[in-house]
Structures are given as C-alpha cells and as structure tokens.
Structure 1
Amino acid sequence: MLHLFHKPAPYLEESGPGWFEPARPRPPSHTLGTLDTILAAKRSLISIFPESAYMSQVHSQRVLGRQVILANSPESVKYVMATRHDNFERKSPQMRRALEYLIGDGLFISDGETWKRRRPLVADIVHKNRVPVFGKTMEAVTVAMAERWADYGDTPFNALVEMAELTAEIIARTVFGNDLGAEAAHEVIEGFTRYQDVIDSFNIGYFLGMDEGMPIIRGPRLRRSVARVDKVIGKVIDDHLQGKGDHNSMVDLLVKRQQKSPELGLDVSALRNEAATIFMAGHETTAATLTWAWYLIANAPWVEEAVLGEIERVCGGRTPTVADVDKLDWCRAVIEETLRLYPPVPILARQAKNADRVIDVDVDPAALVLVVPWLLHRTRDLWEQPDRFLPERFVGTGRPTPYTYIPFAIGPRICAGLSFGLTEAILCFAILIQRFKVRPVPGTKVEPICRLTLRPDGGLPVTVTPRA
C-alpha cells in the first residue's frame, strides 16, 4: 500500500492560537514507483508528489516510456508558459482526452489555429470592461441565495453544491442571458460532478507511447453525465439561434460575431463548445474557490474579524456591490490566499512539440511538462510558511514574486475570465459573510482531491447562522 493511504488519515491539518494550517494530502515519503504513481493519480492527481517536490527545481523522470518534466521554479515556469509558449502551448493528451467529450474543441483544450482564432473572441466576451455590467447580476443572484439561507435554520447543507448553484446561475444569466432555474442548474452541476467521478484523467496509453493517448471509453455512466449537461446548453444555443435569446448575453455576442465575421470559423458546434467551456470553467472554478474560502475562514476567526470590520467601514449596513470590490482589500486577500492554497486547476500539463531545454534539463519531443500551481504555491524556498492560511500576505502593496503565483495560469494562455471570476468570488464572499457565519459541521474531515478540478472530497457540509 502507498504511504499516502496509511494511518493516520491521508490529510494533514493543524491549528493554534492565531494560525491555521489547512488540510493537505500527506506526501509520500519518497518518489513513487510507476505502479504506485498510477494508483495514486487515479484517486487524486495531487497525491503523487513527495515532500521533495515542494522545492524550486526542474526535475525529469520517466513514467513507463514517457519523459515527465516538473517545472517548479519561477524561471522554468516563465520559460514554459511564456518565453517558449509556442513549443509548450498544447494541453496534455490526458487533459484533452478527459475533457473533449464534454467541451469538444473548446478554448480550454484547443491549440494551434483553432485557439488563435477563438481566443480574441472569447477574451472580448468576458473582458474586464464588461464586469461592471455583469456585477449587477452577481449581486442579485447572491442576495437571492442569502434570502434562502435565512430560512435554513440549523439544517446542514453541502457548501460545494450551494456555491455551484450560485455560480451556475450567475454564469447562466451572463453567458446565456436568462435564468437557468434550479432544475437546470442541478442537471449541469450533477452532470459535471458525475463526469469527474467517472472520467479517468490518467491516460495510460500516453505513457505507453501513444502521443495522443487512448480515447476515453464512453460507458453508460459517462454518456449520461454528458447528456445532462448537453441538454441544458444545447437548448440555450438553439434558442439564441432562433432569436429567442437575450440580446446582451455572451452567447448572443458569440452568435453575432459569427454572423459578422465568418472567417472566425465559428459554426453551431463551435458555439456550443465555447458556451460549454465558458459555462463549465466559469461556474466550477469559482464554486470550488468559494467553498474552500468558507472552510478557511471558519478556522481563522481573527481573519473573519478583519473581513467584517472592513465590510462595515466600506459598506456600513448596506449590501456590498460590485463598485465596492476594489475597496475590499481583506476580502480580496482571502480569495487570493484561497486560490494560492487551493488552486481550482492545480496541475497545468503541456506536451512539448519539439525537443527543447528547460533551464538545465533536456526535453524530448512529446514529453509531458508539468507546471503545478499546487506545488508552486507551497514551495518551501519561495513562500514564508507556505502551508498556513495567511491572507495578510496579499494585503497592501506586497505581491508575490512573478511566476510564483499562477492560479489562473500565466502567459498567453492565462484564463480569459480572470477578472470575471475574481470579481465574482470577492463579491459573493462579501455579500454572504456580511449576513452569515458559515461553519463546517463538527467532526467534518476535509480532504483536497483532484481529478479534473480541486475539490474537498465529498463536498463541505456546513451550517449557517444569521449575524445579529
């Protein structure tokens, strides 16, 4: 058995007066062999890294027949993600195979000419200049959730599911231009959750020499999970193409751009893929971030006090608005520190097109190159007390050293929805924490687990108490 699965429990969590070290997997005591790596990765991709990986380095090893390179230093991250982006732009076959059934050739996994055509279009749709308009929707949906929470009493609920419903409704109204509704939101959330449970993101064929990896076996459970998502997104696209959609939504803008600029190459299938990509990435990552934020703040009352004091100074008794976000420094710091400790996409895997050299390590053609925010954000020689929850490191003028903090990736493939997602997380957090004390159910054991995105295993059962 792997050291990871030995007793005591496979996570570490510690706290004391004025400090909190949140849950993380217990690292293996040594570099895992091939079989143990495969077994650990199938359960959670962040479980494979030994303690020695949490240092600045460029490391090369072979898993079966494939060279695997870990680029875990600011210099190597910059080289892979920015300087030589053209050679390392392609997402790994594991990621492409794992997601292609759900989002087709959507921007998140596309490359080459497809990526070049669509990136400017999608980036414009979710541009930061549009955030103030979208902010009104964020406010309205979050306040509506707060009103529902007021009726929950002492009834526990899964914060991950609630945050997914919140962000799904927000992204639906902004991307799709109409209310998603509880039933449709549940279909998408449950569909993607089941998809993550079923999908195998460790593609053994790639390591056995197949440069494109093995096609995913589309069994009944996987097909059902995709069908639940497709049903909702497909109807929205059809409605817009028939002129029934909101004229200010992102999808409507995509349709109009296709009509005005056919050279962009967007057809109905592409519209569906990009809408699915924006929707899935937009709701899943922010939902996970907010869930982790509730876990962290519940264990750091001194931080919660600072947050509430700031909201009172900035907003008084009124509800925070999108116009307040730039003034809510502590709220932003909590979200940014949450993204440091629990980046929603904790592994950024690339496939080398051609031979290269990353710092002092030679790279084979088709090698798997890993930039791992989970490791980078906790690297011992780059961060002070890297495993502790310390939002104050993001308060004021201090910022992390470039290429040490990349929760939204970095370089040309930086997340197009960065401003949207960050604003959404800060605003939703501020509105809800002003009104409620959110606490995990006593006895809850939290374990970070990653198959496609980084979630608490089984979600986060919580109760909410209205503030006086």
Structure 2
Amino acid sequence: MADAAAGARRKAALPHPVARDGVFTPPYPDRPRSRLPLPELVRRLRRNMLEVWHERQFTEPLIATALLGRRILICNSPETVQDAFIRQAEAFERKSPQQRHALEPLVGDGLIISDGLVWKDRRRVVAPVTHASRIADLAPVMTEAVAERAAAWAARDPAQPFDMLAEMGALAAEVICRSVFGRALGEARAGQVVSAFAAYQRKVSAGGLLALIGAPPWLHRLQGWRLRPEVRRIHDVLEAMIEAALSAPESEPSLIRAMAEAELAGSGQPMSRTAFRNEAATLFLAGHETTASTMAWCWYLLSQDRRSADRLRAEARAVLGGRPAGFEDLPKLPFARAVVEETLRLYPPIPVLAREAQREVVLGGRTLPQGGLVMVVPWLLHRHKALWERPDAFLPDRFLPGAPPRPRHAYVPFSLGPRVCTGAHFAMAEAAIVLATLGQRFAPRLAPGAKVFPVARLTLRPGETLPMLPERAG
C-alpha cells in the first residue's frame, strides 16, 4: 500500500499552486473527464478510492451506478442526503459490507457497525458518556496531554524533521486512552494500542474493495485470519486495561467507568466484558485515527498558508498568553475552530459513508433494490461546485461566525441522522485545543522535498508520513 501511495503521488500534479490572490489550493487527485472503464476503475479503487471520481460528479445531485452487479446510489445534494440518512434512515440502518468486514474482527458487535436492538442498547450506554455536556469534564485530559507535547516539541532540534502524522497519532492516543481508561493507566499503555491499531489498518485496507464488490464469504474469512495477530494484541491490551480501570479507585474517572455506571442505571440487557472491550475498541478507533489525521492535515494546510497560520497564532496568543488552552477558552478561539472545520471539509477523515438497503427504496426518483448500497461521499459533497464557492481552496473564513450560511446537509464530516458520530464534540474540542496551544509557540513547516497527497484507507490520510520541521514561531 505504501508503494501505491507513492505511485499516486507521482501521478498527480503536486502541489496545486497558490492562487494569485494568496489563497492556497491543497492537493487532490486529478479528475477524469468522464466515467472510467471498469478495469481502470477497479485499478484506481485498489490504489486510492479518491481517484475514481470524475469531474461531472462534483456537480451532480444524485449519482446512480453499479459495480459488478451491485446497485449503488450516491446522494450528492443536501436534499438527497437528508432523504436517505434522515427521512428514510430506518431503511439504511446497516453499515455497508465493506465497513462491517473491515471492522468486525476488531470491534465485534460494537456501536460503529452494529444495528437493530444491539445498536439501540449500546447507543443508550455509549452516547451519554461522550455527550457535549460532558466535554468540560473531559477537556482537562486534552489540555494536559497537549501541554506535555508542547514541552517535548520545545526540546526538539527545530532543524530535524519529524513525522507530524505520527506525532498527532501519539497525541490523540494519549488523549483517548487517558479519557477511556483514566489518566495513569491510559498514559502507561497508549503506545501499545497505537502500534497494534496501525498494523491492523495497514492489513485491512487492502480488503476493502473485496467487500464493496460482493466477494465470496471465504475471502472475508481469509482476511479475518490474516488480521488475527493484530486483533489479539489489541484485545489483550484492552481487556487488561478495562479490568484495571473498573478496579481503580472511584476518584480516577474514565469513560469505561462512566459506561459501566450508565449500564447499571439502565434497564437493558447487562453488557458483558466482551461488549465493554468492543466499545472500548470502537471509542479508540473513532477517537484516535480520525482525529490524528485531521490534526495532521491542519498543520499541513497552515504550513502552506502563512496568513492563516499568523491569524491562528495571534488569536491564540491574545486568548492564552502562553498557557495551554482549556475548555473555557474554546468560545474565544473561533478561528482555531474554523481551521478545523475547513480541514474537515477538504479532507473528511471518513471519505465515504455507505449503508446497505434493508428494503427497496426510492431516492431522487431512482429505485434501489434491497441489498443495494446508498452512499454519501463527503469527499464529493464537500467539494460540490454548486454548494461551495472555490470548493477546492482552503478558506477557513467560510466557517467563521457571520459567514454566509450553507445548506444544512452539505457538510457531514461526522455523518448525520440517527447514526451521527457520538464523539463529534469531543473531537472538535480536542483539535481546537491542540491547534491553539501549539500554534501560539510553533510554526511547523513542511520538510524540504516532502510530498503530500491524500490517500483513502479506513481514513483519509496525507500519505504514510508527513515530514515537518517543528520551527518556533516568531
């Protein structure tokens, strides 16, 4: 897959130049002018899913297609998105076969891929522990972790490049591990979980196409067998941490403890230790990989748009005065939040949201049979030429208070409807705290010769690594 990413980089024009008015247009794959022949489509899907979308699809409201006999409808307007994921959500409760087969070995019946009564019971327990009302209690862990990261950066040689993707992965892992399992326990074991998750993602990405095109069950079983070593490593660490977290003194808060208390307070079927492990894996997957990718993209975009980086720094210094950001500072950091939101628009961490139809449905005048797929592709929707001005440009101002309103369902980085991500507020708070805290002291710069290009795996990443220099801000 690393070779595929390198090949994708060589094929594209990188980077797209800064416009004459100073607005930065970051890299994206070249777009075919028309629909690709099937062999080329499959080849590009295997290499990088972002390469298959042709120019006209960035203007269409609904895209009807098929891949090896599987009917697919892609909702690409606020109206069709709302129709599928809200008005007819009960018909599209089940995630796509691709997502289920990719994640089931790791998360089992976890919230991210479950449906029916299992999903309802799990959401009853999990949703309250990451609700917006709890962010004030969870934010101190974010502040603590980013303050430690700032000290580590200050001790680095600013002339020596480091991998920003790995840096943000380690930071996000610290935050989610300390939040899920408690401060002391999470800090001690975060590295073990990160390395196992990284190995899992490298292996699982290659099998995504198989599920999308309806591969036979034995191929999915083969992939599950290949993933067993990484799954066992992750499960062993998570199970030990859960036992320790639930046995820790009550003065050590954690999301696992909060889930246990919510489960006891509810009237549903009691959760087993396996269920707790599956939800812990889900929380880590959702709270680590996607957030790390987003923050890495933020630093890249700011490194290429010094005007925005200067605005972020000025805002952070005025509000924070050198100290790390906390929950109470978030309302006073609108530009930091706008940078995060614009980054999520350009590089949505989950570039495809796919569901399997549980019955025959009609969307936008098109009929989708039972078993067909409906998709919302944030990569397309967020760059739709009828919905966004200069859709490929990096313009954080479009998310500032007072900016022109956008159609309600044109921006879906955390999905929408009943299955909207329960950790959206957590992720937004974390990213803004990180950018403001580090951005007031540092101006990371892309390492000389480094090439950046979006590659879609389980998440949308800037390649395998993101070499940057941790320069001090003036």
TM-score (norm 1): 0.93
Structure 1 equivalent of residue 73 of structure 2: 69
Distance in 1 between residues matched to 2:184 and 2:16, nearest whole Å: 40
Structure 2 equivalent of residue 457 of structure 1: 463
Q: Which moved more, 1:324-333 or 1:16-25?
A: 16-25
Q: Which moved more, 1:18-27 or 1:179-188?
A: 179-188
Mapped contact 1:438–1:463 kept (Cα < 8 A): yes
Counterpart mapping for 1:403-422 below 5 A: 403-422=409-428
Structure 2 equivalent of residue 95 of structure 1: 99
Distance in 2 between residues matched to 1:35 and 1:406, nearest whole Å: 31
* Aligned mate of 1:343, from 319, 324, 348: 348
Instruction: Give the aligned residue type for 1:308.
Output: R
Structure 1 equivalent of residue 34 of structure 2: 30
Instruction: Give the aligned residue type for 1:429.
Output: L
Deviations 1:114-169 (A, max 9, x none): 11111122110111111111111111110001101111112211111111111111
Instruction: Give the aligned residue type for 2:40.
Output: D
Q: Which moved more, 1:384-393 or 1:249-258?
A: 249-258
Distance in 2 between residues matched to 1:206 and 1:339, nearest whole Å: 25
Q: Does 1:388 align with 2:388?
A: no
Distance in 2 between residues matched to 1:65 and 1:29, nearest whole Å: 24
- How far did residue 261 of structure 1 move? 3.6
Q: Does 1:125 align with 2:129?
A: yes
Distance in 1 between residues matched to 2:188 and 2:291, nearest whole Å: 20
Distance in 1 between residues matched to 2:65 and 2:38, nearest whole Å: 10
* Aligned mate of 1:16, from 14, 19, 31: 19
SS at match of 1:422: helix
Structure 1 equivalent of residue 333 of structure 2: 328
Distance in 1 between residues matched to 2:288 and 2:251, nearest whole Å: 20
Mapped contact 1:95–1:201 kept (Cα < 8 A): no
Check 1:194–1:10 CA distance in 2 against 1; reply closer, same or farther (3 A cut): farther
Check 1:158–1:441 CA distance in 2 against 1; reply closer, same or farther (3 A cut): same
Check 1:216–1:75 CA distance in 2 against 1; reply closer, same or farther (3 A cut): farther
Check 1:32–1:264 CA distance in 2 against 1; reply closer, same or farther (3 A cut): farther
SS at match of 2:339: helix
Distance in 2 between residues matched to 1:253 and 1:264, nearest whole Å: 17
Deviations 1:371-399 (A, max 9, x none): 00011000111100000000011112234
Mapped contact 1:98–1:216 kept (Cα < 8 A): no
- How far did residue 428 of structure 1 move? 0.8
Q: Which moved more, 1:316-325 or 1:48-57?
A: 316-325
Mapped contact 1:298–1:438 kept (Cα < 8 A): yes
Check 1:132–1:213 CA distance in 2 against 1; reply closer, same or farther (3 A cut): farther
Structure 1 equivalent of residue 151 of structure 2: 147
Unpaired runs of at least 5, structure 2: none
Distance in 2 between residues matched to 1:303 and 1:203, nearest whole Å: 38
Structure 2 equivalent of residue 240 of structure 1: 245
Distance in 2 between residues matched to 1:217 and 1:361, nearest whole Å: 36
Distance in 1 between residues matched to 2:421 and 2:181, nearest whole Å: 20
Distance in 2 between residues matched to 1:72 and 1:289, nearest whole Å: 23
Deviations 1:411-445 (A, max 9, x none): 11111011111001001110011111111101211
Q: Which moved more, 1:70-79 or 1:301-310?
A: 301-310
Mapped contact 1:203–1:214 kept (Cα < 8 A): no
- How far did residue 218 of structure 1 move? 3.9
- How far did residue 7 of structure 1 move? 6.4
- How far did residue 295 of structure 1 move? 0.4
Check 1:354–1:331 CA distance in 2 against 1; reply closer, same or farther (3 A cut): same
Counterpart mapping for 1:237-316 below 5 A: 237-243=242-248, 247-261=252-266, 263-316=268-321
Structure 1 equivalent of residue 441 of structure 2: 435
Deviations 1:94-130 (A, max 9, x none): 1000000111111111111111111122110111111
SS at match of 1:69: strand
SS at match of 2:260: helix
Distance in 2 between residues matched to 1:133 and 1:245, nearest whole Å: 15
Counterpart mapping for 1:109-120 below 5 A: 109-120=113-124
Unpaired runs of at least 5, structure 1: none
Q: Which moved more, 1:455-464 or 1:306-315?
A: 306-315
Greater per-residue strand proportion: 1
TM-score (norm 2): 0.92
Q: Which moved more, 1:178-187 or 1:291-300?
A: 178-187
Structure 1 equivalent of residue 381 of structure 2: 376
Distance in 1 between residues matched to 2:344 and 2:321, nearest whole Å: 28
Check 1:466–1:181 CA distance in 2 against 1; reply closer, same or farther (3 A cut): farther
Structure 1 equivalent of residue 172 of structure 2: 167
Instruction: Give the aligned residue type for 2:12.
Output: A
Greater per-residue helix proportion: 2
Check 1:146–1:116 CA distance in 2 against 1; reply closer, same or farther (3 A cut): same
- How far did residue 189 of structure 1 move? 2.0
- How far did residue 275 of structure 1 move? 0.9
SS at match of 1:442: coil
Q: Runs ≥4 in structure 1, deviation > 6 angstroms?
A: none
Counterpart mapping for 1:171-190 below 5 A: 171-179=176-184, 184-190=189-195
Deviations 1:329-366 (A, max 9, x none): 11011000000001111100011111111112111111
Mapped contact 1:103–1:273 kept (Cα < 8 A): yes
Identity over aligned residues, as a percent? 37
Check 1:265–1:46 CA distance in 2 against 1; reply closer, same or farther (3 A cut): farther
- How far did residue 179 of structure 1 move? 3.3
Supply the RMSD in Å over aligned alpha carbons. 2.3
Deviations 1:32-74 (A, max 9, x none): 2333222222222222211121113212122111101111111
SS at match of 2:452: coil
Q: Which moved more, 1:83-92 or 1:264-273?
A: 264-273
Q: Which moved more, 1:283-292 or 1:114-123?
A: 114-123
Structure 2 equivalent of residue 360 of structure 1: 365
Q: Does 1:55 align with 2:59?
A: yes
SS at match of 1:466: coil
Distance in 1 between residues matched to 2:9 and 2:192, nearest whole Å: 37
Structure 2 equivalent of residue 44 of structure 1: 48
Instruction: Give the aligned residue type for 2:273.
Output: V
- How far did residue 277 of structure 1 move? 0.4
